[in-house]
Structure 1
Amino acid sequence: MNRFEDTDADDLLPESEQRRTTEINRLLDQIRETADKLQRDAATRGDLKLLARSLKELRYAFKVFTPYRDMRKLTIFGSARTTPDHPTYIAAEKFAERMAQDGWLVITGAGSGIMEAGHRGAGRKNAMGLNIMLPFEQSANPIIHGDDKLVNMKYFFTRKLMFVKECDAVVCLPGGFGTLDEAFEVLTLVQTGKRDLFPIVLLDAPGGTYWKKLDDFIRASLHEDGMISPEDFALYRVTDRVEEAVAEIEQFYKVYHSMRYVRNKLVIRTQKTISGALLDAIRLEFHDILSEGDFEIRSALPQEDEPDLEALPRLVFTFNRRNLGRLRILLDCLNAESIEPASREFV
């Protein structure tokens, strides 16, 4: 097909599809331009190896996850050293089983311990794995080993990106340095708005105090010294009950569907239209998170270009992009179809 035929074919596409194609081509050109600049800058062999391997890993991970983009997925973090007879392993397995029964896919690191428990509970059909290649501990567990939904990765940073990018909830069970790193990185990304809001659950075995002790430290040292806001406690839930962890995640998506920014507007998509009474209450309670304007019920904005979501109602406003804890409380109000969650005390 010649150049003129290409142009004619593009002209036959819907306007939204033309915009999407133009943007994709622009981004691919940007990647090529960056590669050319690396050559011009005389980048070292080591730097090029790191970039090439990272891009290769992410491309393959995107390919594996693409068929499952329309399915809800949760990420489980926890120790690779927890034994199958430990209460924490049993809790992780039970939790994953419950979520898989409700149609969720379970992403873990594919190793042993809590990762294996998550996959065992979910079953091979609902399990996805992001394995890290280490000289110890991290061979893929027997549930996910050899599965098409397993990705082996060299770098922690590409692996962590996929864990957070692809999921709709994160559940952390007790673990070592790696688990704490993952838990705090997720909290940081959500608190700073670098990742859309989603449920974060810190889950202990029944009667366990691992996360309770950490929560006590956060309250005594971070909050009391003014390093976090009271509303930041709305960003996560500590529990030692599997049923409460399941309810926290499923309640989050009862009315709320998804969000995205369109220029300076935050678009919150909902699965039902917000009542006029609740909208009025939101305007009174949450005016502090606006940088300008007001809350509006809208249909899809033209710039969204997501036909599958076009029918969903929207709550649209100019968010100040600072008060993420307050924004999470707003979502709780939408899901409860009541302003009552805004009255909760978090400290």
Structure 2
Amino acid sequence: MPPKKITDREGAEGFNAWDPKILQQIDALVALATPPQAAADNSDLVREMIVTALKTEYSQLERGDVKILNRALRELRYGFRIFKNYRDRRKVTIFGSARTRSHDPDYKLALQFARLMGKNGYMMITGAGPGIMQAGNEGAGKGNSFGINIRLPFEQEANEFISNDPLFIDCRFFFTRKLMFLKETSAIAFFPGGFGTHDEAFEALTLVQTGKCDPMPIVLANAPGEDYWKDWKHFITKQLLNKGKISPEDMSVFRIVETAEEAAHEILHFYKNYHSMRFVKDDLIIRLRKALSPAQLDQLNQAFKDICVKGSVRESAALPEEMDHRELPRIALRFNRSGFGRLRQMIDRLNAL
């Protein structure tokens, strides 16, 4: 296929990425590296990555900058290679303190939660370290969890339940690690932790609130009787909600729970009828496990017409642009692309029908 035009705001002045001589050599390299029976043709994207790499040399970026680009690409490629054979399995990412000891009630709660989700067919994704991360790997069992480790000068060493596992991934950068945590998961469970846990929590909440990742269940779990997340919610309500920094519907994107059973139910119920979603041009397509009756569709329209910029929620067949899950029933709407808290409320309604 002809190469796509690559735009570069800086222009890489004087560098003609589409010089026929350069393109011929790039195409020859791509063809040489592509397996004969490749399942997908990504040669156009590989070509773009090579051109970008050449531009870094021509632009004479500082060596430290090029090291970051190089290491980030290597980490992501390796991580995606590990995950690609497990994309048909739903997963839960578990976050929490590395300092939580095995006798702590929160450790036991995370352990029970991981075991329970494993029994329901889910794999775990953790940060591979001690504490809550170890509880997630231990509870999941051998071969049923991933560990995405971060290299730190202190505290973080891979726990015994994932350190020598083929599903162990080592990262130097927090941003590549966090991308994999959130890209590869179907749900997130937060347990009490420190700055890192809150960083990850606000990152996840922001991505769901702004639609930069698909809706997913987010549970905040602490042992019965503890007030860790209750106090956190009090701060969110007083300082963010009551002062207009977030909208009331944004409070719908997370749930606070105190038992492993509650946390598991929240995640499993989220996918009771809702399956997945994607945008096709101006339409949001929501895939379901069971079709809606006309009366149920009417209820949905009455309750959520505010998030439709045009028309109404309607039944839809699989569109030509959709290559997967074509057998599932669907609904479509012209979503306003801003009310993602309301969209979460609509998913809850779909699961209750």
Same fold (TM over 0.5): yes
For the pair 1:294 / 2:315, whether they are aligned, the reply is no
Segment drifting more, 268-277 vs 159-168: 268-277
1:327: which partner in 2?
343
The SS at the match of 1:216 is helix
1:313 matched to 2:329? The reply is yes
Contact 1:259–1:269 (Cα < 8 Å) also in 2: yes
Equivalent in 148, 159, 184 of residue 130 of structure 1: 148
Q: Equivalent residue for 1:62?
A: 80
Which structure has more helix as a fraction of its residues? 1
Q: Which amino acid aligns with 1:260?
A: R
- What is the CA–CA distance in structure 1 between the aligned matches of 2:61 and 2:333, rounded to whole Å? 44
CA distance in 1, matches of 2:222, 2:110: 9
Correspondences of 1:219-258 after superposition (within 5 Å): 219-258=237-276
Counterpart selection for 1:216 from 234, 250, 267: 234
- Mapped to 1, the partners of 2:337 and 2:310 lie a distance apart of 12
Match of 1:267 in 2: 285
Q: RMSD of aligned C-alpha atoms?
A: 1.7
1:11-26 matched pairs, under 5 angstroms: 21=41, 24-26=42-44
Aligned to 1:344: none
Residue identity in the other structure for 2:71:
R
CA contact (8 A) 1:297 1:314 kept: yes
Q: Which amino acid aligns with 1:198?
A: M
Q: Partner residue of 1:97?
A: 115
Distance 1:235 1:73 in 2: 18
3-state SS in 1 of match to 2:321: helix
Native 8 Å contact 1:78 1:114 kept in 2: yes
Q: Any gaps of 5 or more consecutive residues in structure 1? A: 4-16, 338-347
Structure 2 match to 1:345: none
Tell me how far apart the structure 2 counterparts of residues 29 and 293 of structure 1 sit (CA, whole Å). 41
What displacement does 1:239 show?
A: 1.5
1:122 deviation in Å?
0.9
| C-alpha separation in 2, matches of 1:331 and 1:48 | 43
Q: Shift of the alpha carbon at 1:265?
A: 1.2
Matched, 1:181 2:199: yes
Q: Which residue does 1:168 correspond to in 2?
A: 186
TM-score (norm 2): 0.87
**Residue aligning to 2:52:** 34
- In the alignment, what sits opposite 1:121? 139
Q: Is the 8 A contact 1:299 1:311 kept in 2?
A: no
Alpha-carbon distance, 1:314 to partner: 1.0
Identity %: 50
Q: After the TM superposition, which segments of 4 or more aligned residues of structure 1 sit over 4 Å from their partners?
A: none
| Residue type of the alignment partner of 1:35 | A
- The answer on whether the counterparts of 1:89 and 1:117 sit within 8 Å (CA) in structure 2 is yes
Deviations 1:143-171 (A, max 9, x none): 11111111011000000000000000000
Check conservation: 2:143, 2:167, Cα contact below 8 A.
no
Residue 39 of structure 1: how far off its partner (Å): 2.0
Which residue of 1 is the match for residue 32 of structure 2?
none
Structure 2's unaligned 5+ residue stretches are 1-26, 28-37
**8 Å contact from structure 2 (residues 269, 351) kept in 1:** yes
TM-score (norm: length of structure 1): 0.89
